[in-house]
């Protein structure tokens, strides 16, 4: 345990009580630090899972009631580092399953192999995940304060780079800290707080457009679940969809469309949404099994964004580190958010072990270096995919007046490789596992594709693919069912 010169434990203030912030608080508390977690929303989850779902409101978190998935990579972080969180989630009804269970049954895959347990995970609705994390934090001695919005940063006079020494709450309370962690999400106000104290602004790279999600939750009367699909995400003409198991016999389906595709906004109507979900043979049963427990939940603001806190080789400030969505976002279509946030919290813990608190600039630079080196490639690949996918949908929209068949083509080898992987993933056991490892947040593409024979099989089975490998409607058929002209 590191202490101050006076011998007291280091005090870390974490801003934001979502999964990323609470994971960071738990990891740092386990190091012996004194941790205070501040969240701007009032209220709490209650004792039972259904109280968290029915009664807990988090107006500061737009995506709170939208589907979330804990990928196997995130599950393994918890299993190794914070097993008590998994105990809490199981007690709340979280469902254990293997991401590739259905794929293992395909003739081309040939069943399970030793090591396939790495694709195991737990599923639960976002409020229940937060409830489990919060229960663990309370038992670990983390001081959790709700209804405690932070409005400013406290600073120490330093010649060149401002140093953050704490925060000021909306109630006017000053809270000192040896380190402040920004886990306030994609709309974090930390950048403005920094410029308010005279620091240079972090560099924001934000796409101008993105996606919309239209989701709906269901529940079975007996706690059962629809039959699992081979992989829970499919891309189709103008639309993508994903199946997301929850807890206690609940699940969701999310439909993803371009924010510029005005015809798809009709998906906010529950009857239209149901008709459209029924068009996709591999996943339609997820919308007909059980009964809906929500209307259609719409979510916008899904543009890719990335903040750089080291500019020109110098941190804009010391004493403040941003993690999870407060640093960068990925497309929610792929479900990386929870897992990347937890991985980022673990990286923070490891950097503090390595660098300590004393050399402020060294800590900021090292954290930035490892963040960009470890998590940066996934975020950049997601942002690049977004641009291609949006261009693909634009082409499909433009083709409709002429009733012509179109195929999006580009010279970008990364996009073309991803299309080949999509076409090959369920046709070869080694390709499936390489795809599953990357899609589950377990390893990066370079490691997975570097395995003997994998790239050759991808090119053999999927090289040159330009269409969609799974069955589904054309845009013209989709518009007919929606009722758009």
Q: What is the pLDDT of residues 319-367, one digit of tens each?
A: 999 999 999 999 999 999 999 999 999 999 999 999 999 999 999 999 9
Beta strand residue intervals within 346-411, DSSP E: none
Distance from C-alpha of 281 to C-alpha of 470, rounded to nearest angstrom: 9
What pLDDT shows up at residue 9?
87
Residue 2 falls inside a structural domain: no
Residue 405's SS3 state is: coil
Could you tell me the pTM of the whole model? 0.95
The total of structural domains in the chain comes to 3
Place 143 in a pLDDT band, splitting at 50, 70 and 90: very high
- Residue that wins the pLDDT comparison between 156 and 341: 341
Residue 99 falls inside a structural domain: yes
Q: What is the pLDDT of residues 195-224, one digit of tens each?
A: 999 999 999 999 878 999 999 999 999 999
Check whether residue 309 and residue 337 sit in a common domain. Answer: yes
What pLDDT shows up at residue 464?
85
Mean pLDDT of the chain: 94
The last residue of one of the domains, among 251, 284, 299, is 299
Check whether residue 283 and residue 331 sit in a common domain. Answer: no
Place 45 in a pLDDT band, splitting at 50, 70 and 90: confident
Tell me the CATH number at 232: 3.30.70.2450
Residue 175 falls inside a structural domain: no
The β-bridge partners of 242 are: 233, 254
Place 484 in a pLDDT band, splitting at 50, 70 and 90: confident
Strands 203-206 and 34-38: unpaired
Encoded tokens for 83: 């097993």
The last residue of one of the domains, among 271, 299, 327, is 299
| DSSP letters for 200-246 | PPPEEEE-S--EEEEEEEEE-TTS--PPPPSSSEEEETTEEEEEEE-
Residue 180 falls inside a structural domain: no
Residue 471 falls inside a structural domain: yes
Residue 320's SS3 state is: strand
What pLDDT shows up at residue 209?
80
Strands 163-169 and 310-311: unpaired
Share of the chain above pLDDT 70, in %: 97
Tell me the CATH number at 355: 3.50.50.60
Residue 200 falls inside a structural domain: no
Residue 194's SS3 state is: helix
Place 43 in a pLDDT band, splitting at 50, 70 and 90: confident
Which region among 122-131, 270-279, 300-309 has the lowest average model confidence (pLDDT)? 300-309
| DSSP letters for 128-142 | HHHHHHHHHHHHTT-
What pLDDT shows up at residue 400?
75
Distance from C-alpha of 365 to C-alpha of 375, rounded to nearest angstrom: 15
Distance from C-alpha of 300 to C-alpha of 264, rounded to nearest angstrom: 13
Whether 403 shows a pLDDT value over 80: the answer reads: no
The last residue of one of the domains, among 365, 383, 401, is 383
Check whether residue 378 and residue 416 sit in a common domain. Answer: no
Check whether residue 140 and residue 28 sit in a common domain. Answer: yes
Whether 145 shows a pLDDT value over 80: the answer reads: yes
Check whether residue 220 and residue 295 sit in a common domain. Answer: yes
- Which domain, by its residues, includes 265? 208-299
């Amino acid at each position: 345990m590191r202490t101050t010169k006076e011998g007291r434990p280091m005090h870390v203030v974490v801003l934001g009580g979502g999964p990323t912030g609470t994971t960071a608080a738990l990891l740092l508390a386990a190091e012996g630090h004194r941790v205070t977690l501040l969240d701007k929303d009032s209220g709490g989850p209650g004792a039972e899972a259904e109280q968290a779902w029915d009664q807990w409101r988090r107006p500061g978190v737009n995506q709170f009631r939208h589907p979330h998935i804990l990928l196997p990579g995130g599950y393994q972080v918890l299993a190794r580092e914070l097993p008590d969180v998994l105990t809490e989630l199981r007690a709340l009804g979280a469902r254990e399953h293997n991401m590739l269970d259905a794929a293992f049954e395909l003739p081309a895959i040939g069943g399970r192999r030793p090591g396939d347990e790495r694709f195991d995970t737990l599923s639960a609705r976002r409020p229940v995940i937060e409830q489990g994390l919060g229960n663990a934090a309370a038992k670990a001695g983390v001081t959790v304060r709700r209804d405690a919005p932070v409005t400013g940063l406290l600073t120490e006079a330093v010649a060149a780079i401002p140093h953050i020494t704490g925060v000021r709450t909306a109630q006017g309370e000053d809270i000192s800290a040896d380190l402040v962690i920004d886990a306030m999400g994609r709309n974090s106000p930390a950048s403005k707080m920094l410029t308010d104290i005279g620091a240079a602004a972090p560099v924001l790279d934000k796409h101008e457009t993105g996606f919309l999600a239209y989701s709906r939750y269901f529940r079975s009367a007996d706690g059962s679940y629809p039959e699992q699909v081979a992989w829970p995400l499919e891309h189709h003409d103008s639309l993508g969809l994903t199946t997301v198991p929850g807890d206690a016999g609940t699940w969701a389906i999310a439909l993803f469309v371009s924010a510029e595709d005005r015809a798809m906004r009709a998906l906010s109507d529950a009857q239209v949404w149901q008709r459209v979900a029924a068009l996709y043979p591999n996943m339609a049963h997820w919308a007909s099994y059980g009964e809906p427990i929500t209307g259609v939940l719409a979510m916008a603001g899904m543009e890719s964004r990335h903040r750089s806190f080291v500019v020109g080789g110098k941190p804009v400030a010391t004493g403040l580190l941003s993690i999870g969505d407060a640093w960068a976002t990925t497309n929610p279509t792929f479900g990386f958010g929870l897992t990347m946030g937890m991985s980022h919290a673990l990286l923070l813990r490891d950097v503090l072990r390595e660098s300590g608190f004393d050399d402020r600039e060294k800590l900021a630079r090292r954290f930035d270096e490892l963040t960009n080196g470890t998590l940066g490639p996934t975020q950049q690949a997601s942002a690049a995919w977004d641009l291609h996918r949006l261009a693909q949908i634009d082409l499909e929209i433009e083709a409709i007046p002429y009733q012509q068949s179109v195929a999006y083509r580009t010279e970008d080898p990364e996009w073309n490789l991803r299309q080949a992987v999509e076409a090959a993933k369920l046709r070869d056991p080694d390709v499936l596992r390489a795809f599953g490892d990357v899609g589950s947040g377990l390893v990066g593409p370079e490691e997975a594709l570097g395995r003997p024979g994998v790239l050759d099989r991808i090119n053999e089975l999927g090289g040159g693919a330009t269409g969609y490998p799974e069955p589904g409607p054309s845009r013209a058929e989709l518009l007919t069912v929606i009722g758009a002209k």
